[in-house]
């Protein structure tokens, strides 16, 4: 299997909203871009106006869910921050069952398993 085939994207669906455009969010974007059947359809960051260089257009929270999507993937390292973002997403009407967070440790396990020693 290739890395893209072994990364747990199967749970995410084909159309993904990625929340977070920091270093970890960018790494997740790269991983998802390598997956044939997955596409980041929207990239959200609460500080989008302060981020200068991105791989696709960023939007703020007000744009959340204005496109068809299967899930929202939270791209932050901190579990505490991820829980706060999850609560905010739910307050904004995103169903809890459509929200995912993959911790850095879990993602790195896939990188090691595939012997792609590019630590996030």
Phi first, then psi: give them for residue 19, nearest 5 degrees.
-105, 115
Q: Hey, how many other C-beta atoms are within 10 angstroms of the C-beta on 86?
A: 18
Write out the two tokens for 66: 């204005």
Give me the pLDDT at residue 107, please.
63
b/e per residue, 13-33, with b = 16+ CB within 10 A?
beebbbbbbeebbbbbbebbe
- The pTM is what? 0.81
Does 26 have pLDDT greater than 50?
Answer: yes
The answer to whether 70 touches 13, Cβ cutoff 8 Å, is yes
The model's pLDDT over 59-70, given as tens digits with 9 standing for 90+, comes to 899 998 799 999
């Amino acid at each position: 299997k290739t890395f893209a085939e072994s990364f747990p994207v199967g749970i995410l669906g084909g159309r993904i909203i990625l929340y977070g455009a920091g270093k970890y969010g960018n790494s997740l974007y790269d991983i998802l871009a390598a997956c044939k059947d997955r596409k980041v359809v929207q990239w959200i960051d609460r500080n989008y106006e302060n981020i200068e260089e991105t791989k696709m257009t960023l939007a703020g929270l007000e744009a959340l869910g204005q496109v068809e999507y299967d899930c929202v993937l939270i791209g932050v390292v901190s579990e505490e921050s991820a829980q706060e973002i999850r609560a905010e997403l739910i307050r904004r009407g995103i169903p809890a069952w459509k929200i995912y967070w993959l911790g850095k440790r879990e993602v790195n396990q896939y990188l090691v398993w595939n012997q792609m020693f590019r630590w996030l």
